[in-house]
A and B are shown apart, each in its own frame.
Chain A
Amino acid sequence: MVSRPLKYFGSLLHLVSTPLRSFRPASVNSKIHVFDFHSSSPRQNEEKKESLPANQSSSVQSSPSNVTAEESSPMDEFFEPKENWAKGDITVGRSWRKDDLRLKSNTDLHKLWYVLLKERNMLLTMADIYQFNILPGPERIYKVEESMKNLEDVVRERNRAYFELETGETGERRCKYELTRIGLWRLHKMQQHTIPKRLNKKWLEKYPQFIEDEQVDQFLTLYREKLLNKKKRAKVGDRKHVEELLKRFPNVDRKLLQEKYPELDIEKISQTRAAHGPHPR
């Protein structure tokens, strides 16, 4: 993998750890002073000073630049842990498979989802920081997303089992194939509405019904012709590929070729001149 230039760690420190202090509440660390411009009055400030011990009174007056960058805050979870900053490449294990997730209870899956979500959030912010460089371990985003997808599938599986047992249906959003205005089939994902279909004028305008028409007929004939031509061209391409294969590998498994290309007649093609060409280039 490509190593990362060192200059970015410095910029990270500058960008990341300094603005975070403004988000931190004063109760976490008494060293940090938060200015309240709206509610502050000289009296209140004096009272605060008096209540604090003598050691800390000086630090309250000091500016936030005196705070060291080593302090941890909850906002640091949006970024890569500091141990990994100097690493050129970060390796992690594989993603969660469906078989692993099926062992886990619903509460565990619920917790795991938020762990993965946080990780993905962190990785996407890091990818944004590294937009002109290569992110160390770029496959991590894919791994997290794959395991999130698997988790969702497992949850859907369980819900489907419940609904099929109780109601006889999957309990998921239903789909159906509908004819569009121009005569093409479309997969329509059903939606929930408060009013029935015949009263919903907007919906009827958006999805007009199929009406047989002269223009539609003409369009459909041309469209089917186009599809047929595409199919024919694909068949010709397949035939040429098989000819080249027979030319290069005369001992190729003919039965396997016939299984792969059922539309072609392999024996007939192998007898033609195109399949008995000269030695391959």
Chain B
Amino acid sequence: MRFTLTLLRRWNRPPPTPPEYQIAETTKKYANLPEKYMEDTKKLVYYRTPRGINYRPKKLNLFQNYIGVARPWSAESPQEISEADGFVPYVEPLRDWFFFRGDRVQILTGKDKGKQGIIDMVIQERNWVIIRGLNTEIVPQKDDDDAIIGYSSTERPLLVNTQVSLVDPGDLLPTEVEWSWTEEGEKVRVSKRTGRIIPMSRRNEETFQYQSKETYAENAKDTRKEDMQITFAPKLMTFEMEIAQELGIEDDRIPKKTYWY
């Protein structure tokens, strides 16, 4: 027997994705989708060899470790990833995250310096925040013959750590913020300067599908609230034993002696 690399390939599992390129918690909350779905759509595997001993595990996919303005489940994200062309963004590691949808922030740099706006989109993977109507870039829209049809202004993202700061609701001035707990045990953001609590906006509950839980239109196959009652009663039985008892299945056979190895 010769020990070749092809023999050993099967034992080497693919390395886990580094935390810089994983999907962040704010994105997961906004998406309200299964994690595996988002990862699969982000990966966009073109081809994968079928499972079996006669196939070498191999796949053809897009460059995975890039997250931009487009959300990973959207139809635009594969295009954006292909345009990035293997560019690795360097993201500064942050200990805490303070910026959420609907917060009032002040811009510290750029052409809109000193202006205040409301956060429309949070991209935690890149430490980015998009503010509605501010920090815009005017882009000419072109025809197939490179003739300019018109101009569109799009909001560009801003770095959280240096270009933007949260606003104290008391005096409407930018402050540094920290996490702390109230006496009731709630986790809140508190401004370091005045000690005032910065409340969460209602827009933070917004998801990809609905704006708030009340406005969500129920589907015919969704579980109703009336069906979510507690029916569990502890019994000294396994799952299979209880089901067999209910269905009236009795098994008096004596099993043969077996060996586990």
Interface residues of A (CB under 8 A from B): 1-2, 81, 83, 90-96, 100, 102-110, 119, 138-139, 142-143, 146, 155, 158-159, 162-163, 165-166, 171, 174, 182, 184, 190-197, 203, 215, 219, 223, 241, 244-245, 248-249, 252-253, 256-257, 260, 280
Given A100-B228, A182-B3, residue A106 in contact with residue B239 (CB < 8 A): yes
Q: Are A191 and B261 in contact (CB under 8 A)?
A: yes
Q: How far is the CA of A235 from the CA of B228 in the complex (A)?
A: 50
The digit string for B191-233, where 1 denotes a CB below 8 A from any CB of A, is: 0000000000000000001000000101111110000111111
Q: Which residue of A lies closest to B31 (CB)?
A: A139
- Chain A neighbourhood of B3, CB < 8 A: 182, 215, 219
A197 touches B259 (CB 8 A): yes
Interface Cβ pair total, 8 Å cutoff:
116
Task: Determine the main DSSP class of B at the interface with A.
Answer: loop
Query: Assuming A92-B221, A95-B34, is B259 touching A104 (CB within 8 A)?
Result: no
B246 touches A (CB below 8 Å): yes
Residue in A91, A108, A158, A194 whose CB lies within 8 Å of B238: A158
A-B contacts, 15 of them at CB < 8 A, read A91-B219, A92-B222, A103-B228, A106-B239, A106-B242, A107-B246, A155-B239, A159-B240, A162-B236, A171-B238, A184-B11, A193-B258, A248-B90, A249-B92, A253-B94
Q: Interface extent on B, as a size class?
A: 35 or more
Q: Are B259 and A193 in contact (CB under 8 A)?
A: yes
Q: A100-B228, A103-B231, A139-B34 are in contact. Are A244 and B261 (CB under 8 A)?
A: no
Specify which chain A residues have a CB less than 8 angstroms from the CB of B240 in the assembled complex.
Answer: 159
Inter-chain CA distance A248–B253, complex, in Å, is 72
Nearest residue (CB) in A for B3 is A219
**Bound complex: CA A106 to CA B243 (Å):** 7
A191 touches B260 (CB 8 A): yes
Min C-beta distance of A179 to chain B, whole Å: 14
Measured between beta carbons, the chain B residues less than 8 angstroms from A104 are 231-232
Q: Could you tell me if A163 and B238 are in contact, using CB atoms closer than 8 angstroms?
A: yes
* Residues in A neighbouring B228, C-beta threshold 8 A: 100, 103
In the complex, besides A103-B228, A142-B37, 6 extra interface pairs with C-beta distance below 8 angstroms are A92-B222, A139-B34, A197-B259, A223-B8, A249-B90, A260-B93
